[in-house]
Structure 1
């Protein structure tokens, strides 16, 4: 019996078998990748959890400690400010005006609060009263009704503030509530923070830190993690956990680190400010088990995918190979250079043959067109290369001349806006005309030179030449400079010329160096040609003595001092060889200093209201004299504004305060007083707020409440009568305003004064 032998080469070169083998290899690679990923996961997931959890805890601890440090600084500043000192120095009697000012200070602090503080309480244990953002009241009422907590009654604070060794402490968190006869309202969970002076026990400041809000702001832990803050005795100060038993860390753990106990990792770190220990508990076993189950499922899915994939590969390879083999055999019969396409009795093959014939003809047409447009493509290739410098495209492959030496010439255009506007021409159109002129000049001497506009104020020329032909370039640049000088009244030009470069692959670097050359332009109008790089002076700024003298005289409106300081600073920069760009940047910094200094002292510059900005005016300065004249005008104007503001008399504020104090029981309105002053109500409101830092309505209410407190304390008039005398015609509105101002109702206030 004769056996038929099929050569191995026949099968190895078959498209069907190669497709089938390729599909199987891809499937095996996917399986290998999954197995490798599973192995890597088992070995590295533990380290990743430890690393990420440690970093998260360190970030949280740093944020918490910084927040506590800022709270301490805030409490120190409040404790030693002017109003607080006035309250401490008057232990016998509460000054309600100062008390109201302290209350407003607390409201302002808490309104702009970024420290997660809910309230700040001034506690006077010797006088048994407190002041907070809502007003003043006795301490017993404060801690038994308005801010009550079983952990922190009034007796607790009385004891704590009496400890001479204690000055600052953060207490464990607890829920605070408001309890009235009708309802109970929870404020939330707070960590009380106490600050007092060791020298005196007459005043303590208690801040209520919103624990949950602070945790939400600074923690970024996974959902099933537990978080604890322990004090120096190991007690829990704050916790986010479902555990019922108190947390106990292992002894001798140090100030920071982690350890594994049971199925949990314990990460801990001690804070430098508070001394508290922050603990993060991460359950590792649950995560590992979930990932393990996922990988078991994925392994089963991969095995199933292998079986399905092999079956589909065989089917797809056959369906793809059979018609393709027929098509290839038909294409092989076609002659690429024949005048007519191959004709077959099969319609589909005729379509393919016709399309291929059309493609051959199109390809020849495209080749001829590409040859005719080669110079244009080269132009855009260099333009793209320049643009890549600004977009950081490093790997794009652009077809440029890599075997020709070249020189880069950059024209930096500096237009004078008012001159350009007088010619009724915008910068883009002017730059286009200049580009066309430069191109016409270079194309005569260098036929393959490329000139194009890369920005609205930048033109670039690339010349293919060598060192022996640079004299032609020098003469051409001199001629171009003469033409540019004729238009120097509306445009100053900087011409930066690079050395000859032989390597096209460093074109980006060569262009960047040419840009740096252009920035070496010195002060002055006209045209400057720059070829060599020079060392520019660093640190162009005022000396410390000049800075102090300048700002002091600036806010005083003394331009006879400030103008010479600026002029000498600019002259020194020119003497040290500074470039125009450096002096322009120095001038911008001085302008910013003037604006910030005057605005911080409430002396805005009227020049800022002009149609042209200071930056636009500064941009048109070209010479030292122009810069000096610019600062002379701005400093003279600012000095004039300051003097006018100082010389203005404030008769409006005096009239308003006097009228309100004399007619507090009458109908007072902003429009009424504005009409008496013959001004508008809106202007009076803005003016009074600017001068007194208080709204008109708030000032009227303050005067009326002070008068009401005086009548309630020193007379036996009925509350209804007091209400009418101070300008309130309904007892309800009077009671509401009085409680808002003092924290007590009129009846409570009178009873408190009787005791």
Structure 2
């Protein structure tokens, strides 16, 4: 009996071993196909991710920005009719509004380094935080390293159609950056017969890093081509001088892997084409290097199969003997180790195993109850993703609706954003546990009020001081909004009176379907931001205040900014003191801590703009750090103390502008004098040609030359010519007409007249009187 059962064990082990053995042998001969299939799937996934990332965050953002600027109505301020209709202050205000709108379109995109509009008729560049000339932009903001200033001007005046220029090297903030320059001619911005151009500078290094992260093989290469098959980027894991082969993209309509030869080497190429923009994303892997590792795996598999056959034959017999035990022994072992002492020894072995399974299932139910405790966290995270747009609409199914206790996706919703402004009267510390208590109080009060008024709602915790509430609307929005407003007024009053907790509430407009909750949240967030400029309000409704979100908000009188800018540019410290005294009076008259903080933030923003746009000598140790500045503004109770520190920063900036002007003036004069000494004998040299050479106006050149040398520039050139003429008259036998041409005179009569005025005698008479005998 023992041998019969033992051989059954042996046979069972043999069957169990032979099946995976044959599977392994089959896998051995199909490793290449399996690896190729895996490579196909991996490349498809990675290139699709690259396509989504590049097009959603780069191409779509950049080209949408270009289209938005092309359709922007602000171009009218540069038309000749607008110049006559608008005074300078209104025109400046409209230009500043255009700058802010450009900033609002670009500041959230980490791939966009800068964006600006060039208007040829005005020779003007308008960016997110500056309005300047091409020369200042070239010199002080972003300098193209591979272009002279003349080529830069020619580049700005070119005609483009959604063109991407790769490896556009610039120097910004003393750093060398590799970028992609996007250029497009604005078809609607026709000013004085010339089209304006929009340029967007894209951070090439971020896209390169993204491509390097997803290169599927150490020796692989990736390309990105634009819609016209121009190479935008090429990235390889190792330095390889390999050009992209000519590919007929029209014949590869599906996702596939192809093999071809390039310089005697086989390659695998895979690519995908964007159906929206027509961009191509290509991945190449060397075949020999790729299959070299596959061959190693196959050989190792063969060796392992052989060893496994020998060792397994021995182990099969050994384990068959070792694992042969009567079932009664298994029963005794299970009973001795089981916690359930009710299992009777008289039961059969199968009954014992069955009872143990029932006992195990009861443990599983207990585990399910523990998992249920995490449901609120999962629910909050799902709602959070819905509000911030982190979940795709097609990802929301019946399971998600069941988790959120929602009946359908197509309901009508309003998002209410609650921010805790001050709870220092309720808690004394800043720990998470104390803020958790504040959040508990607010949510309990809110739940009670909403449930009492039959509003179905879902709470979403964002941070210690920020809570969002999704409210489902059964009636019309016009009927529900007053009820919600009254409800939140009661909540605010109750919290302030009983807990000394002060909150502000932003209420969005109505949206249809949970997939649009993101837009409702954005509305609530934007309208709630008005609390800094409307400090007396507690409830902010998007339906009533949406106009205020986009309207210009004047924190200070209109002339304040102009006076600050002029004082800094001219280096007038007394002007800085005067304008800050007016600002103190304005803050005192406003009598609003919120308004004071907004003014201080606005002034520091202007300071950083001037610091980066006006040449100065402010050292790094003198520049205030933005993080510390914002923390000081938020924490400091006395705004005048912050204003005093800000005044000191502006004073240092104004003084450094003077120092920089003096240094630049001395350097400029040295270069001009050197140029005059080299070119004074040219008949073409004049005030205007020298000014053009150094990119300054003739008026400025005349003024600074007179200031630094005490002479007019024409008198200085004439003195050089006359001294040279005297030297030639006395040391050479050249004729007067020859000497006249040598020192820059085209007519001998003009030279004779100037020489006689300078020396009192004619050139021939001077030579006769002074030439040694």
TM range (shorter): 0.3 to 0.5
Tell me the TM-score normalized by structure 2: 0.46
Which structure has the larger Rg over C-alpha atoms? 1
Tell me the TM-score normalized by structure 1: 0.47
